[in-house]
């Protein structure tokens, strides 16, 4: 059970290790969307993504016993760096199982935080087996990327800061986050529920990984009908835990196509001059697609991260 | 003659029309360079570059008579947008002569500010002829991109803000800007001279457009031995005016190669998650190339702009 106090304690706990990212606005994007948008650029966060919040909050709550043998996780992306970063802060070892197809720049970033990288085949089975082997060999504790209340409470602090910094005089009508495994979305929805109860939360999901919208409707954790999207941070399905939070506190999930995601990403790069990854552009793509839902509204958007492979960009 | 008062008045004049950009630092880049670097991200400025400062300061000082027939300039890049933007602020017409080879996105940006774009062949002669024709046809007043004290005083406000925001408790050892026509460098050197007299100013220049370093040494305005660089904002030679300021107030000019520029640009994109154009990466490339000169120093760097063609990036 995540209460307001859980989120406040998480924020106090992680504060020395994370940035309080600013709030950005952009006139052109407001004109184009008709909405009044406040962006929370977590691409400027430690490790380049909001995942530092949840990773640090979880690792800081491990017992000295837990920490003796280090921490482990499997991830091709930002959670890998988050756990490597968090482990370094508490002086323990991190073992990160990464698919051998993960971009070299991400492997290097993980190595740069002093973690050990264990390569595996790029399947969920191989990744889970890899983590099991690490746990057997080293005794390391696993930190799941989203199915963990400590992680979710950490992610909730991004929305908490956005509400504190830009939602006081006039509350947000809508707060938005993308949805993959649902850790950030759960945290965002919980923080909003406690701190800005008149605000509704709407999630964005890629059409090419549209599992959350189905699970949201059916009430059961479902798989996506197919997986094919540029938004490579949002491929995971929900867990029972995150589905529960989302069904309770999220108003709607809307999907967008890859061309819509790429166009929103390009708009942010060109007009805001900041680097965001494709997954991060999903909520703005939703806003641009649905002026009927968002025009005239005060909207907060968590920009989740900026870790892209510059050698493989979707622009031409 | 640009005095401290000239710069202060310019700052007061342009303040309603420009952003006070923040100051950014980055741990990884400090570790890699050994320096303590404070970046002034003018890529977040109106029109995506510092040139908004000088353009607005010049246009705001035109007389009502001057403004009757509009303003004109020739530019393939940021100065075009700056004059178009400034003209719109004062409610006059802008005629921008642009080479037909200029990126479509830049032409669209100029059109987006309500200016008229006149295309010409991509030679300096054709550009100057184009402006002459506009002046004859319309009576518009020309605003030169750098050979103009009003423009230089406007550009000086970037360094003024950087010194005010990050150079008070402990003055900068070094302030840096890239050099093309020398407008920004002159303004930076003058602001530093008046506001932080113990700070020295060092400029960065591409090896493939190395005219300023030669002019700096000889005391005469010289052309580059050859022009071949990715830093397309720095191709211009100095004027007598900017050479004078630079010889008086700049300590040194150091050159870097295109691979060094691209590497510095990539480092900023990957680690700071902000979009800077190649010309903008030149001072950081100088810092990374010369640890002997910069390690252990407090260094301020004006990041000049972030207007890049996303379809033509130098990364692979």
What are the tens digits of pLDDT across the range A240-257? 999 999 999 999 999 999
For residue A218, pLDDT beyond 90 = yes
Which ranges of chain B have pLDDT less than 70? none
Q: Report the CATH number that the domain containing residue A77 is assigned in CATH.
A: 3.40.50.1100
Residue with the bigger pLDDT between A309 and A283: it is A283
CB contact under 8 A, A43 and B315: no
What pLDDT score does B77 carry? Answer: 85
Do B156 and B266 share a domain, yes or no?
yes
pLDDT at B101: 86
Domain that holds residue B72: 52-142
A·B CB contacts under 8 A: 42
Hey, what are A170's tokens?
A: 């006039």
- Residue ending a domain, choose from B94, B127, B142: B142
CA distance B214 to B231: 18
So what's the pLDDT on residue B103?
A: 78
Give the pLDDT of residue A104: 81
Q: DSSP characters for chain B? A: ---HHHHHHHHHHHGGGS-----B--HHHHHHHSSEEEEEEGGGSGGGBTHHHHHHHHHTTS-HHHHHT-EEEE-SSHHHHHHHHHHHHHT--EEEEEETTS-HHHHHHHHHTTPEEEEE-SSHHHHHHHHHHHHHHH-PEE--SSSSHHHHHHHHHHHHHHHHHHSSSS--SEEEEE-SSSHHHHHHHHHHHHH-TT-EEEEEEEGGGTTHHHHHHHSS----S----S-TTS-PPP-HHHHHHHHHH--EEEEE-HHHHHHHHHHIIIII-B---GGGGHHHHHHHH-HHHHTT-EEEEEE-B----TTS-S--
Of B116, B142, B168, the one marking the end of a domain is B142
* pLDDT, tens digit (0-9, with 9 covering 90-100), for B129-154: 999 999 999 999 999 999 999 999 99
Give the model's pLDDT for residue A216.
Answer: 98
Question: Which residues of chain A have a CB within 8 Å of the CB of B109?
Answer: none
A45 plus A184 within the same structural domain: yes
The pLDDT-based confidence of A101 (bands split at 50, 70, 90) is: confident
**B208 lies in the same domain as B78:** no
Position B313 in a domain: no
- Pick B275's closest partner by Cβ from A41, A44, A274: A274
Are A273 and B105 inside 8 Å of each other by CB? no
The number of angstroms, rounded, from the C-alpha of B145 to the middle of its chain's C-alpha atoms is 9
Taking 90 as the threshold, does the pLDDT of residue A155 lie above it?
Answer: yes
Please check whether residues B118 and B11 belong to one and the same domain: no
- Exposure b/e, A221-248, CB count within 10 A at least 16 = b: bbebeeeebbbbbbbbbbbebbbebbee
Domain identity same for B196 and B282? yes
- Give yes or no: residues B238 and B183 share one domain: yes
Q: Work out the widest C-alpha separation in chain A, in whole angstroms.
A: 56
Query: Max CA-CA distance within chain B?
Result: 56
Q: Please list every residue in chain A whose beta carbon sits closer than 8 Å to the beta carbon of residue B105.
A: 270
Count of structural domains within chain B: 2
Q: Answer whether residue A100 shows pLDDT above 80.
A: yes
């Amino acid at each position: 059970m995540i209460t307001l106090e859980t989120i406040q304690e998480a924020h106090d706990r992680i504060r020395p290790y994370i940035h309080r990212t600013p709030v950005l606005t952009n006139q052109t994007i407001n004109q184009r969307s008709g909405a009044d948008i406040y962006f929370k650029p977590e691409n400027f966060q430690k490790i380049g993504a909001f995942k530092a919040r949840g990773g640090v909050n979880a690792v800081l709550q491990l017992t000295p016993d837990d920490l003796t043998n280090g921490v482990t996780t499997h991830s091709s992306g930002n959670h890998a760096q988050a756990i490597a970063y968090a482990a370094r802060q508490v002086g323990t070892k991190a073992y990160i199982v990464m698919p051998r197809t993960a971009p070299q720049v991400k492997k290097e970033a993980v190595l740069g935080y002093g973690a050990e990288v264990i390569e595996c085949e790029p399947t969920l089975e191989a990744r889970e087996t890899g983590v099991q082997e690490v746990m057997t060999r080293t005794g390391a504790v696993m930190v799941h990327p989203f199915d963990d209340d400590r992680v979710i409470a950490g992610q909730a602090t991004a929305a908490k800061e956005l509400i504190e910094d830009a939602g006081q005089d006039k509350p947000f009508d809508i707060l938005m986050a993308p949805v993959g495994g649902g850790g950030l979305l759960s945290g965002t929805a919980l923080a909003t529920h406690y701190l800005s109860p008149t605000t509704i939360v709407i999630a964005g999901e890629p059409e090419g990984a549209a599992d959350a919208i189905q699970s949201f409707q059916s009430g059961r954790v479902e798989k996506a009908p197919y997986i094919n999207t540029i938004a490579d941070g949002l491929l995971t399905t929900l867990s029972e835990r995150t589905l529960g939070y989302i069904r309770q506190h999220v108003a709607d999930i809307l999907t967008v196509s890859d061309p819509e995601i790429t166009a929103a990403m390009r708009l942010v790069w060109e007009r805001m001059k900041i680097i965001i990854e494709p997954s991060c552009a999903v909520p703005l793509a939703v806003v641009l697609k649905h002026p009927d839902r968002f025009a005239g509204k005060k909207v907060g958007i968590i920009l989740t991260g900026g870790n892209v492979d510059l050698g493989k960009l979707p622009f031409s």
